[in-house]
């Protein structure tokens, strides 16, 4: 009878150790899958940040282009210049065709799949010579000149074309 009891004890130890081994394997697999998911999330966050920075750079480039390079507003926005849209044209910023007919960022950004692009849409004149700028305590200012307002829309991508950021700003001079 002594032999049977020791045999039963050895068998239960084997079963308990196998159960512990299975539990530890499941914990390890869960840790690996969690780690790979977190790595993908960090990569996507980096990709989106890169797309945002590219779009921001193109937005500032478009504002500088309008401010420095365009002298004759009417001639520039007559519909013949790439990336410049006349007032009321309402380009579809979610259409691929709009971005095919856009201006490319003037510099090169590393690590992006596609260099950022921008379009400039003429909004029209704001203000006029009869308007006044009278703010209490700052004296009497008058004779403002009219300002030409535009909407600059920029599109940037990250390390792949799957992450896209579109930014807009209203700009006037």
Q: What is the pLDDT of residues 62-74, one digit of tens each?
A: 999 999 999 999 9
Within a domain: 1 = no
Within a domain: 37 = no
Q: What is the pLDDT of residues 86-100, one digit of tens each?
A: 999 999 999 999 999
Within a domain: 164 = yes
Q: Domain residues for 96?
A: 50-172
Within a domain: 72 = yes
Name the token pair of 160.
């792949």
Burial classification of residue 111, based on how many CB atoms lie within 10 Å of its CB (0-12 exposed, 13-18 middle, 19 or more buried): exposed
Burial classification of residue 55, based on how many CB atoms lie within 10 Å of its CB (0-12 exposed, 13-18 middle, 19 or more buried): buried
Q: How far apart are CA 49 and CA 68, in angstroms?
A: 28
- The backbone torsions φ and ψ at residue 93, rounded to the nearest 5 degrees and listed phi first, read -75, -10
165: helix, coil or strand?
Answer: strand
Which residues lie below 8 Å from residue 89, measured CB to CB, with a gap of 6+? Answer: 79, 121
Q: Sorting pLDDT into bands at 50, 70 and 90, what band is 15?
A: confident
Q: What is the pTM of this model?
A: 0.76
Within a domain: 10 = no
In contact, 163 and 156? CB cutoff 8 Å: no
Task: Find, among 151, 153, 163, 65, the residue nearest to 102 by Cα.
Answer: 153
* Total number of domains in the chain: 1
Within a domain: 100 = yes
């Amino acid at each position: 009878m002594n032999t049977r009891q020791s045999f039963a004890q050895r068998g239960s130890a084997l079963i308990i150790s196998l159960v512990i081994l299975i539990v530890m394997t499941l914990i390890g697999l869960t840790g690996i899958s969690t780690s790979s998911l977190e790595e993908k999330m960090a990569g996507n966050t980096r990709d989106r940040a890169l797309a945002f920075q590219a779009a921001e750079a193109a937005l500032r480039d478009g504002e500088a282009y309008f401010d420095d390079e365009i002298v004759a507003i009417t001639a520039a926005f007559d519909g013949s210049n790439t990336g410049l849209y006349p007032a009321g044209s309402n380009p579809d910023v979610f259409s691929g065709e709009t971005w095919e007919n856009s201006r490319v960022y003037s510099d090169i950004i590393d690590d992006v799949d596609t260099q950022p692009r921008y379009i400039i849409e003429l909004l029209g004149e704001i203000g006029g010579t009869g308007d006044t700028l009278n703010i209490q305590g700052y004296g009497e200012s008058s004779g403002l000149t009219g300002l030409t307002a535009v909407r600059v829309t920029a599109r940037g991508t990250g390390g792949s074309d799957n992450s896209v950021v579109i930014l807009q700003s209203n700009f006037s001079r």
